[in-house]
Chains A and B, each alone.
Chain A
Amino acid sequence: MKRTSLILALGLGAGVAGHVVWFNTQQAAPVGSLDTQLAWMQTDLGLQPDQFARIKALHERLEPRLLQLSAEVERLRAEFASFERARVEAGEVDFLEVARAAAESRSLGRECDASTTQLVSEATREMTPEQRKRYLEILAPALEDAGHSRAF
């Protein structure tokens, strides 16, 4: 009985240890960083090292501006949400503030579209037709709305 228990425990331990070790060694890095995203792009699009270097440099050049715009968008979305809360809860609408935020959002939307267009057009210039096709497929959810006035 003791021998049987030992072998069962050994089998269970081997299975669990193999599972944990293999899963942890093969698991990829988190998705948040630009380097991870670019590495994924390189694999997915099959970018050559020289293409990858140019596309990486382009992203690194435009990333700060895009992150700044993203923060502005989040701020304006929060502002619109607070307007809506005030309207629902207190029945009050500050039309001047709403008009100012709407004007700001239109301006910001144009800036976002311009930055997106710049990044995509410069990146696709470095790609082969097949890579470009795949890249635009990936971006389709964002690009199909670009150029139109988009709600915050």
Chain B
Amino acid sequence: MNSPQDPLDAMLDTLHASTPAQPESVQQEVWRRIAHGDQTASDACVPWWHRLEAAFSRPAFAATFVAACLLLGLFLAEVRLTRAQAERTAALEQSYLRLVDPLFRESDTHRVQPAVHRP
């Protein structure tokens, strides 16, 4: 039925020649991928403290953690200092007002505004 020189045969031969040989069978490849998936899933189930221990076992991560804690402490100290400075400025104004004007009462202090710092 087919002619001996069917062009489709030639194309199939070319495709077969250009396709590299598969190292394993499809079945082996499927099982390999399933095993890899199981391995990934078991990594995700590791408790957080084990992951923490693994992270802290790296010296660079441990040093970064300590440095970050130090910086956080300094940042919180600055926040407290800024607030303390504003309160101190208001207290200084009230204290000076009490010195300048002996009749100045504590109850008048609600009118005192903290100093506006000019650039």
- B34 at interface, CB cutoff 8 A: no
**Are B62 and A141 interface neighbours, CB within 8 A?**
no
Q: How many residues of B contact A (CB 8 A)?
A: 44
Interchain nearest-CB distance for A43 vs B (Å): 9
Classify the interface of chain B: helix, strand, loop or mixed. Answer: helix
Determine if B52 and A19 form an interchain contact, defined as CB atoms under 8 angstroms apart: no
Is residue B3 contacting chain A, with contact meaning CB distance below 8 A?
A: no
Q: Is the CB–CB distance between A4 and B56 below 8 Å?
A: yes
Check if B99 sits within 8 Å of A63, measured CB to CB: yes
User: Contact: A7 with B84, CB < 8 Å?
Assistant: no
CB-contact partner of B115 in A34, A44, A67, A152, under 8 A? A44
Can you name the residue of chain A whose Cβ is closest to the Cβ of B80? A23
Given A4-B53, A15-B69, A141-B111, also A150-B103 (CB < 8 A) = yes
Interface residues in A96-152 (C-beta closer than 8 Å to B): 109, 112-113, 115-116, 119-120, 138-143, 145-146, 150, 152
Q: Which residues of A contact B52 (CB under 8 A)?
A: 4
A19 and B74 contacting across the interface, CB-CB below 8 Å: yes
